[in-house]
Amino acid sequence: MTPDALSSAHQNRGVRVEAPEKGASGTRPRLQDAMPVNRRQSLGQGDLDFPPIPNGVDYLRSVVDHLDEATGVKPRDIKYAVLHLQAAAEVLLKARLFREHWSLVFKDPGKATTKTLADHSFESCTTAAAVERLRNIARISVSDQDVKALKALADDRNALQHFGLTHNARAVEARAAVVLDFLVRFLDEELLPHLADEEVREITQDMERTRGGLTTIQSFVTKRMNRLRGNALKGQDGSTTLCPSCGQFALILAAGGGRCHFCSTGWSSGALAEHFQSDWGTEQCECPACGAWTLADLVDFVSPEIAELHYCLECAARFPAGTLGACNGCGVPWPYPEHEAAQVLCDHCQRDIRAQELH
C-alpha cells in the first residue's frame, strides 16, 4: 500500500468505505490487503494477486466441480469441497464486511489500525463473527437456517483438519447445497452489483458453472428426498426431524437415539442432545420420565401439529406444550403436579426440602 493509500485509508476511518471504484482501487484499502498474511501465503505465491471476489467465485466453482456426480465423488473430492466451500464463505463474507468498513474484518475492530491492515499482521474475524457483524452492523438478513449451515461447514472444516473426514458424501453434498445456495444469492445481492463491468465479465464463466453445478446438486438432494418420502419416511412425520449432519428432514428418532435415512448417520441420544438442547446448561435437561439428561426442547418434527414439545432423546417421552412448568426450587422444566394448588417441584428439590424438614 502506498503512503497515499495509507493516508486516504486513515481519512476514511469511521467513514463508510465503498467498494473500490474504477481506477480508484489503489487509493483505498482493499480486501486483498486485509487478508492476513498466513491466509495469503496459504493460497500460494502465484495466487497473491487474486482479488477477493473472483477468488471466492473460483473456490465455489471448485466446489461444484468436486461434487459433480457425473465424474464421481470420491473421498478426496469431499475433502476439497469442504475446504474450498469454507474458503469461499470466508472470502465472500469478508468482502462484504470490508465494504461496510475495513476495520470489521479484524478479529477485534477496536484494535484495527491502517498499519496492521497494510502489513497484514492482524488476526481476522471468524466466519461466525463475520455473519454476526453482517447481520447486526450491515443489516443483511441471513436466515437462521443459513447461519446453521455456515456454522456446520466451519465445524466440518475444523474436524477435517484435525480428524479427517467425519461425514459421508451425501451429508456433505446436502449441506454444501445450502451454503452454495446462500453464497450465490449473497453474491447476486450484495457483491456483484458493486463490481465494475470488467470485473463481472471476468467471473461470468465461473458463476455460470457454479449456478449450473448448484442446480445439479440441489436436484440430486430433492430427488433423493422425494424417494425417501415415498418409502422409508412414509408415515413417520411424527418421529422425523432435521438431521444435524445433512440438514435434511430425514432423521427418525426412537428410544436411545435415531438414524438418518438421507445420510445414514446413526445417532446416540447423547450425541443428539448436543444439537437439540438450548444452551440452558446440562443440569436443566433431566427427563422427568427416565432421569437421563437428554430432555430436548428444540426438536422440530415434520408433523406440523407437534409444536413446542419437550422430547426425551433417550426414552422418547413426549411432553406437549403446557404439560411442563418451571420447578419453583430450581427452575428446570417439570410436570405440573396433579393437585392444582400444589407448586411445581422437581424430584431433587422435593428431596432437598424433605431433608431440610428432617433437620
Give the interface segment with Zn ion, choosing from 69-77, 122-130, 299-307, 322-330 (CB under 5 A).
Answer: 322-330
Give the one residue of 1, 129, 253, 312 binding Zn ion; rule: CB under 5 A. 312
**Residues 6 or more apart in contact with residue 80 via CB below 8 angstroms:** 62, 66
Question: Least CB distance from residue 240 to Zn ion, whole Å?
Answer: 11
Give the interface segment with Zn ion, choosing from 90-98, 151-159, 178-186, 315-323 (CB under 5 A).
Answer: 315-323
Question: Least CB distance from residue 215 to Zn ion, whole Å?
Answer: 22
Minimum CB distance to Zn ion smaller for 134 or for 263: 263
Question: Least CB distance from residue 259 to Zn ion, whole Å?
Answer: 9
Minimum CB distance to Zn ion smaller for 88 or for 263: 263
Whole-angstrom Cα distance, residue 293 to residue 197? 57
Give the one residue of 34, 179, 272, 287 binding Zn ion; rule: CB under 5 A. 287
Minimum CB distance to Zn ion smaller for 122 or for 334: 334
Whole-angstrom Cα distance, residue 169 to residue 79? 10
Q: Is 259 left (phi over 0), alpha (psi -120 to 50) or beta?
A: beta
Minimum CB distance to Zn ion smaller for 206 or for 314: 314
Give the one residue of 109, 238, 270, 329 binding Zn ion; rule: CB under 5 A. 329
Residue type, 221: V
**Residues 6 or more apart in contact with residue 129 via CB below 8 angstroms:** 107
Question: Least CB distance from residue 330 to Zn ion, whole Å?
Answer: 3
Q: Is 241 left (phi over 0), alpha (psi -120 to 50) or beta?
A: beta
- Which of 193, 221, 225 lies closest to 99, judged by CA? 193
Minimum CB distance to Zn ion smaller for 309 or for 317: 317
Minimum CB distance to Zn ion smaller for 131 or for 332: 332
231-270 footprint of Zn ion as x/- string (CB under 5 A): ------------x-xx-------------x-xx-------
C-alpha pair distances (Å), 232 with each of 169, 187, 221: 20, 37, 15
**Residue 314 cell numbers, joined:** 433417550
C-alpha pair distances (Å), 155 with each of 73, 113, 126, 150, 342: 21, 30, 12, 9, 46
309 binds Zn ion (CB under 5 A): no
Question: Least CB distance from residue 174 to Zn ion, whole Å?
Answer: 7
Find out whether 32 and 50 touch, Cβ atoms under 8 Å: yes
Residue type, 290: C
Find out whether 131 and 47 touch, Cβ atoms under 8 Å: no
Minimum CB distance to Zn ion smaller for 9 or for 171: 171
- How many residues bind Zn ion (CB under 5 A)? The answer is 18
Give the one residue of 290, 309, 323, 335 binding Zn ion; rule: CB under 5 A. 290
C-alpha pair distances (Å), 20 with each of 5, 26, 38: 12, 8, 24
330 binds Zn ion (CB under 5 A): yes
Minimum CB distance to Zn ion smaller for 112 or for 251: 251
| Coil/strand/helix, residue 208 | helix
Whole-angstrom Cα distance, residue 64 to residue 224? 18
Question: Least CB distance from residue 242 to Zn ion, whole Å?
Answer: 9
Whole-angstrom Cα distance, residue 151 to residue 181? 15
**Residues 6 or more apart in contact with residue 332 via CB below 8 angstroms:** 283, 284, 286, 326, 346
Question: Least CB distance from residue 287 to Zn ion, whole Å?
Answer: 3
Minimum CB distance to Zn ion smaller for 150 or for 207: 150
Question: Least CB distance from residue 160 to Zn ion, whole Å?
Answer: 18
Minimum CB distance to Zn ion smaller for 62 or for 294: 294
First to last CA, the chain: 76
Question: Least CB distance from residue 165 to Zn ion, whole Å?
Answer: 15
Give the interface segment with Zn ion, choosing from 30-38, 42-50, 209-217, 329-337 (CB under 5 A).
Answer: 329-337
Residues that bind Zn ion (CB under 5 A): 243, 245-246, 260, 262-263, 287, 289-290, 312, 314-315, 317, 327, 329-330, 346, 349
